[in-house]
Structure 1
């Protein structure tokens, strides 16, 4: 019982190949192709007793553009050639094994609007202002917490300084979904604050960082409030799927990691 994916150096499944097999024990199997990155031209996936997806990412940390394949149990799908725009760029890959009865919910649109409203309320009367809407995407096995999956919310900011041009800044929050018993929960586990370089960078950072890091509690409350939709349900597993919700009627698709992220839960 597994989902299997193979990447080939040449188009039409030729040349050196690298195969990943989820086996019976892995919901998500990852590979960083550090020694053989930027060489792959074709890919194929098989559902061997399971259904799921194979993802080939542009960058080493499962981000950037990606090519995806969808497979049902006993099915196979393929890219005989990634195409000129995606040829020789793959640096990492994921296999996601789907449960037969999982519930998949795209998070981007709802989380983005909820976060924007929360942030604007908290930033009122401060030098902070949002620039555009937040991006919501999957963050898989980051170096600072390498065994976990997160939904990341990234918001660009400006910081007003009297008598000086505004500074650009950014805040990111990593939200973890988990089960307590059979109940679904979410929390903002990590926060990251960046300020552009300049003569006042450290002062600006010291001024805004405590407020932004401190907002993790409010964000956790907002996430938990959104998850009340599932309060009456019992689950046995939760995981994330990168990008927009896959359409299993299609053999595959191209997208970007920050187009969206999907929450998947398996009823108990």
Structure 2
């Protein structure tokens, strides 16, 4: 844990994030650093003092294109999910959270855009069960073209007498939806089909304003796709 941070740009611009929780989540303090410059927090402030548990540094290309994903992806996912679950026992609780998942234990070499949706499952003659589904999407380049792939899905159901039966009823369909989600993402990425890229990466939170030295935000406020034209 620490109370201050400083970063220097030597050859590349970049960003540094200090997160309050392990695994790059929770609130964060961020620094924006241009090539040849330095930015710092001499003190995070009393609300963020001595709470940092993980940090992330990303060196960025000078000409990357930064696209916030949360609103667009969340809206598209909501429409698709509601259409596919209409008339079933499964329903959404609010909208999805869209955020970055960086180097998770179950796939430590990869970075994902995660769609995290809380659910309700109706059970005949019994109170509804709470549930959750998360989808991890990887963005990658193939032949300089941009692609997206829903690589992981995670399903959770709250504990209770019917937990196992509820899980068995909803998990296959939710896991199986990865293929539909991949198709939907690829369809959205078709807008870039005429462009070639040399790199792609994700930035946590909202788009960094490089005219400012830094900012505070939360990991699930957004996630940004950064594309480097070839």
Shorter-chain-normalised TM-score: which range? over 0.9
Structure-2 residue corresponding to 1:243: 205
Choose which of 54, 64, 70 in structure 1 pairs with 2:32: 70
Choose which of 132, 145, 148 in structure 2 pairs with 1:170: 132
Quick one: distance in 2 between partners of 1:97 and 1:243?
Answer: 16
Choose which of 152, 156, 175 in structure 2 pairs with 1:194: 156
- The runs of 5 or more residues in structure 1 that have no matched partner are 1-38
Quick one: distance in 2 between partners of 1:74 and 1:187?
Answer: 36
Structure 1 residue 45: deviation in Å?
0.9
Q: Choose between structure 1 and 2 for higher RCO, CA contacts under 8 A separated by at least 6 residues.
A: 2
Structure 1 residue 204: deviation in Å?
0.3
What secondary structure sits across from 1:158 in the alignment?
A: strand
Matched, 1:56 2:18: yes
**Root mean square deviation, CA, Å:** 0.5
Choose which of 118, 121, 125 in structure 1 pairs with 2:83: 121
Structure-1 residue corresponding to 2:221: 259
Quick one: distance in 1 between partners of 2:191 and 2:66?
Answer: 14
Structure 1 residue 125: deviation in Å?
1.3
Q: Deviations over 1:195-249 (max 9, x none)?
A: 0001100100000000000000110011001101111000111100000000001
Structure 1 residue 181: deviation in Å?
1.0
Structure-1 residue corresponding to 2:70: 108
Q: How does 1:18-29 map to 2 (within 5 A)?
A: none
Using structure 2 for the length normalisation, give the TM-score. 0.99
Using structure 1 for the length normalisation, give the TM-score. 0.85
Q: Report the count of equivalent residues.
A: 230
Quick one: distance in 2 between partners of 1:89 and 1:218?
Answer: 40
Quick one: distance in 1 between partners of 2:6 and 2:97?
Answer: 30
Structure 1 residue 49: deviation in Å?
1.4
- The runs of 5 or more residues in structure 2 that have no matched partner are none
Structure 1 residue 53: deviation in Å?
0.4
